[in-house]
């Protein structure tokens, strides 16, 4: 009787990809090392995939969404979500192909209120690459093909339900991705410039300038930000267009958000100022600008990227809260916060709980940004 035992050292390497050969590691650039370490962080990778998906949706919004933001049908106010199905087993033969059930309309004889119920008897066929409303993709291609939708464009399809005007919530969430996911980026970019410049001056120059800038930072940090935002947002002229308002809101968000970044940058500058390579650069006769931008900044770019990523979700939450309170973006602009404003009406929420769904998108986006930011922060210093 023979038993074969696998020698223990023959078990396959559990992580062949994550542990590159030492020779590779010695030759790899800093960013490659950061990437290798980041890759090992599973939650961060998952976050990155989700974020990639969100931005893809933002980019292709008008193609992915069955309807445009201005489309509505007053007959289907607060129509509940329909569950898409693949096989129809009600008939004698199984009928393949995606479809949803239609609605039956009932009117309350006392209140005249219309209620919709999904009617399992009717069938609305769904199709991919169907023709619907025309739009222009990237402003270049004029087309009317949508990824999916009802084969007959006049049939009501509300996969995630309808809102108070009979608009398709799924389409609105898809279009809202565009504004909600970019407003954070623009705001963070502005805050980044302010934070790096002021934090850099504070940390590099030191002395009285440092003291003054630190007082300003402390002042901003000790303030409750929301009342301040609200005050500034309420003071925006009423006749401003949606685009002007969007820009003004990002500036308002950035005015208060730069302080965290300024702190990080200052701390880094303070600790780097006494490093030998900085002293060497200065002794070599480099100008102050060259020391800062050629020698000091590149040595903590990865840390900066991490703190930037971590400050985007705060911006998204801020925009959502402002819009939810009716003082941020306003319709016809569609963002997740603007959509959630409808749920502020308590009765509407009780009758149409699917109005809370844009909140799921907010939570998902914010969680992903937090995970990616955490992963980046852990990977930022690959030589540790």
Interacting residue ranges for other proteins, rule: CB under 8 A: 215, 218-219, 221-228, 230-235, 237, 313, 317, 320-321, 324-327, 340, 343-344, 346, 349-350, 353, 356, 359, 362-363, 366-367, 370-371
Rounded to a whole number of angstroms, the minimum distance from the CB of residue 169 to other proteins is 16
Q: Which residues contact 286 (CB under 8 A, 6 or more apart)?
A: 294, 295
Rounded to a whole number of angstroms, the minimum distance from the CB of residue 67 to other proteins is 25
Closest CA to 179 of 115, 246, 224, 249: 246
Q: Which two tokens stand for residue 186?
A: 């623009």
Q: Which two tokens stand for residue 12?
A: 């396959």
Nearest CB to other proteins, comparing residues 226 and 305: 226
With beta carbons less than 8 A apart as the criterion, state whether 220 and 355 touch: no
Rounded to a whole number of angstroms, the minimum distance from the CB of residue 55 to other proteins is 18
Rounded to a whole number of angstroms, the minimum distance from the CB of residue 24 to other proteins is 31
With beta carbons less than 8 A apart as the criterion, state whether 49 and 39 touch: no
Q: Which residues pair with 126 in a beta bridge?
A: 150
Residues in the chain: 384
Nearest CB to other proteins, comparing residues 216 and 280: 216
Nearest CB to other proteins, comparing residues 47 and 195: 47
Rounded to a whole number of angstroms, the minimum distance from the CB of residue 277 to other proteins is 25
Q: How far is CA 59 from the centre of its chain?
A: 12
Rounded to a whole number of angstroms, the minimum distance from the CB of residue 101 to other proteins is 23
User: Does residue 126 sit in helix, strand or coil?
Assistant: strand
Nearest CB to other proteins, comparing residues 193 and 212: 212
Nearest CB to other proteins, comparing residues 147 and 221: 221
Nearest CB to other proteins, comparing residues 49 and 221: 221
Rounded to a whole number of angstroms, the minimum distance from the CB of residue 171 to other proteins is 21
Nearest CB to other proteins, comparing residues 100 and 340: 340
Rounded to a whole number of angstroms, the minimum distance from the CB of residue 51 to other proteins is 13
Nearest CB to other proteins, comparing residues 270 and 297: 270
153 backbone dihedrals φ, ψ, rounded to 5°: -60, -15
Angle between helices 357-379 and 301-324 (to 10 degrees): 160
Closest CA to 292 of 267, 263, 264, 272: 272
User: Does residue 109 sit in helix, strand or coil?
Assistant: coil
Q: Which two tokens stand for residue 154?
A: 């006049």
Rounded to a whole number of angstroms, the minimum distance from the CB of residue 268 to other proteins is 17
Could you please report the per-residue DSSP string of 167-210?
-BHHHHHHHHHHHHHHHHHHHHHHHHHHHHHHHHHHHHH-HHHH
Gyration radius of the chain's alpha carbons: 27
With beta carbons less than 8 A apart as the criterion, state whether 162 and 74 touch: no
Nearest CB to other proteins, comparing residues 42 and 294: 42
């Amino acid at each position: 009787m023979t038993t074969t035992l696998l020698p223990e050292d023959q078990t396959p390497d559990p992580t062949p990809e994550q542990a590159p050969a030492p020779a590779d590691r010695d030759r790899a650039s800093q960013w490659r090392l950061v990437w290798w370490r980041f890759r090992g962080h599973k939650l961060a990778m998952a976050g990155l995939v989700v974020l990639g998906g969100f931005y893809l949706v933002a980019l292709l919004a008008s193609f992915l969404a069955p309807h445009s933001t201005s489309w509505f049908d007053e007959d289907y106010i607060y129509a509940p979500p329909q569950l898409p199905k693949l096989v129809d087993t009600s008939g004698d033969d199984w009928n393949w192909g995606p479809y949803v059930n239609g609605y039956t309309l009932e009117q309350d004889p006392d209140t005249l209120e219309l209620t919709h119920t999904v009617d399992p008897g009717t069938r609305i066929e769904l199709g991919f690459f169907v023709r619907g409303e025309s739009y222009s993709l990237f402003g270049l291609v004029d087309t009317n093909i949508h990824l999916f939708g009802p084969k007959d464009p006049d049939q009501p399809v509300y996969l995630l339900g309808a809102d108070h005007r009979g608009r398709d919530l799924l389409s609105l969430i898809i279009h809202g991705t565009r504004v909600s996911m970019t407003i954070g980026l623009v705001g963070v970019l502005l805050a980044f410039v302010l934070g790096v410049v002021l934090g850099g001056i504070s940390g590099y120059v030191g002395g009285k300038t440092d003291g003054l800038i630190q007082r300003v930072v402390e002042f901003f940090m000790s303030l409750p930000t929301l009342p301040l935002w609200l005050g500034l947002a309420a003071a925006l002229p009423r006749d401003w267009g949606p685009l002007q308002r969007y820009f003004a809101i990002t500036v308002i968000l950035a005015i208060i958000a730069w302080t965290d970044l300024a702190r990080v940058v200052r701390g880094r500058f303070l600790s780097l100022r006494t490093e030998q390579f900085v002293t060497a650069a200065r002794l070599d006769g480099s100008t102050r600008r060259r020391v800062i931008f050629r020698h000091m900044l590149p040595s903590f770019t990865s840390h900066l990227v991490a703190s930037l990523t971590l400050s985007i979700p705060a911006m998204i939450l801020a925009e959502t809260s402002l819009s939810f309170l009716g003082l941020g973006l306003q319709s016809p602009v569609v963002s997740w916060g603007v959509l959630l404003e409808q749920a502020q009406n308590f009765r509407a929420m009780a009758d149409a709980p699917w109005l809370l769904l844009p909140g799921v998108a907010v939570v998902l986006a914010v969680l992903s940004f937090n995970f990616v930011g955490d992963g980046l922060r852990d990977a930022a210093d690959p030589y540790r």
